[in-house]
Structure 1
Amino acid sequence: MDMIKTHSGKLRAIGYDASKRILRVELEDGNALEYANVGESIWRNLKNASAAWSYYRDNIEEEFTASRVSGKPATGGKNPLDDLFG
């Protein structure tokens, strides 16, 4: 799936697989979410929205169920650089 980079709110990249009707969003916290059964018109509207983050929150996040497909592992509140720089 080709991803389009964006910097709208917490969105960092968006992509769509028309044959599977899957929308994928990558967020600033490193999480990637996929939404199934998303119509092509929703994708076009998101891709062309002047405020993609608002469109996402109002029309996708609240209307479709997300599956987390990747993300940063939990660090338990510890900065990973602490081991290097103590």
Structure 2
Amino acid sequence: MPRHGPRPPCDAVHCWGRGYATEAAAPVLAHALQGLGLDAVVADIDPLNAASIRVAEKLGLVFAEERYLDGALAKSYRLSAGPLSPGS
């Protein structure tokens, strides 16, 4: 028997491009904005990570700015609370 249990049904490479990240993030965003009452959620994304940028855009986050975090360039995407929030 494996030490950490059976292999999960999906490893990272086999999950790419199937919409799992978008599906998982939508209720988290809804909870952050509606359940916790945050004014906004910001995602700082490596500019070379096109898949993460697509996920952010699918979820309604919009490009806000480029900035440096710990010396690395990041693209910041923002979703503000309001009628267009996920799950509303």
TM-score by length of 2: 0.22
Write 1 or 2 for the structure with the bigger share of helix. 2
The structure with the largest strand share of the pair is 1
> TM-score normalised to the size of structure 1?
0.22
Between 1 and 2, higher relative CO (CA 8 Å, sep ≥ 6) is seen in 2
